Amino acid sequence: MPLIIDYRSDTVTRPTPAMLEAMFSAKVGDDVLGEDPTVQLLEQKAAAIFGMEAGLFCPSGTMTNQIAIKVHTQPGDEVICDALSHIYLYEGGGIAFNSGASVKLLQGNNGRITAQQVAGAINPNDVHKPQTTLVSLENTSNRGGGSCYTLEDLQSIHEICQQNQLKLHLDGARLFNALVATGQQAETYGKIFHSISICLSKGLGTPVGSVLLGTETFIARARRIRKVLGGGMRQAGYLAAAGIYALDHHVKRLALDHEHAKTIAAALQKKDFVGEMMPVETNIIIFEVKGRFTPKSLAAKLEEKHIKVMPISPTQVRMVLHLDIHTTMVDYTLETLEEL
């Protein structure tokens, strides 16, 4: 198979012909001046899906997360999150750089923390300690192997936050994967979280963009911070049109990515060089490499066969299924694994 089969991330997807057509035909204006009708439509559409008041289109999920943290905190405050959280591991130290906040890391279960852990991590009213003001969750959890929260656990954490006057943010970069895998309703999330970040450029397949959701007051503040961070875009409707198309056409198909992930995971578990594997709930496979391969040597061996995977630690490899991985590619991957 001459084509590259790229499992490194679901960020490598490219727009489909139909998505490109929607982009080229988009009506645009100057979004910084509030005049891009397609951006406004995307923001309204995303907010309506989750039953929230307003949305803000941004270039990346890192920006939407960092804006939310900045709105919810003051310098010297503390954010509670899991130790595997994207906001802590993969956003360039942005919590400290942008918000001047500290972080209390919790050791959860594959990226998921509990209400009991959150309650135990809230600092007392003591001038020696930072003031706890924000809890951030990630669903699905990237470094947790695409793990999903139950609604019961989310509701319990919400109640702890309400009791302690804490804000609750969701990094929902792959939230639609969680919704498809669990059958949960998007509107329920809008009732649990004060803010939600959804990414359009992963499994949904757009070239760029995320949307931050919240109340109108929250989004008005967020819009100011987006400007400060350099995130104000002009004729961004061409990009927003891809997001609208994705929300209309690419959500249900995520189930196929999940099916492909489970198929490949089953084949991997039969190999002598594969050790412990995280439960495969959605589109991410994270597994231990042992014996005759290291993560780097396995990645190099697979690349000889036109298959790209990502070593994410000295002992682990990650594979992510997405829009550009078709069934024939999965079949070729299975054949290649069989030969190793």
pLDDT tens-digit map of 158-174: 999 999 999 999 999 99
CATH T-level topology, domain 17-249? Aspartate Aminotransferase; domain 2 (3.40.640)
Query: How do residues 74-99 score in pLDDT, each as one tens digit?
Result: 999 999 999 999 999 999 999 999 99
Burial (Cβ within 10 Å: 0-12, 13-18, ≥19) of residue 12: middle
pTM of the model: 0.96
Residue 324 has pLDDT above 60, yes or no: yes
C-alpha closest to that of 312 among 303, 299, 321, 326 = 299
The pLDDT value given to residue 1: 54
Domain range list for the chain:
5-12+252-339, 17-249
Identical fold between 5-12+252-339 and 17-249: no
Query: How do residues 28-37 score in pLDDT, each as one tens digit?
Result: 999 999 999 9
CA atoms within 13 Å, Cβ hemisphere of 147: 21
pLDDT classification of 154: cutoffs 50, 70, 90: very high
Average pLDDT over every residue of 292-317 = 97
CA atoms 294, 300, 305, 311: torsion sign? positive
DSSP state for residue 233 in the 8-state scheme: -
CA distance 80 to 246: 32
Domain 5-12+252-339 matching CATH 3.90.1150.10: the answer reads yes
Average pLDDT over every residue of 279-286 = 98
HEC-encoded secondary structure of 93-153: CHHHHHHCCEEEEECCECCECCHHHHHHHCCCCCCCCCEEEEEEEECCECCCCCECCCHHH
The pLDDT value given to residue 2: 56
Query: How do residues 35-79 score in pLDDT, each as one tens digit?
Result: 999 999 999 999 999 999 999 999 999 999 999 999 999 999 999
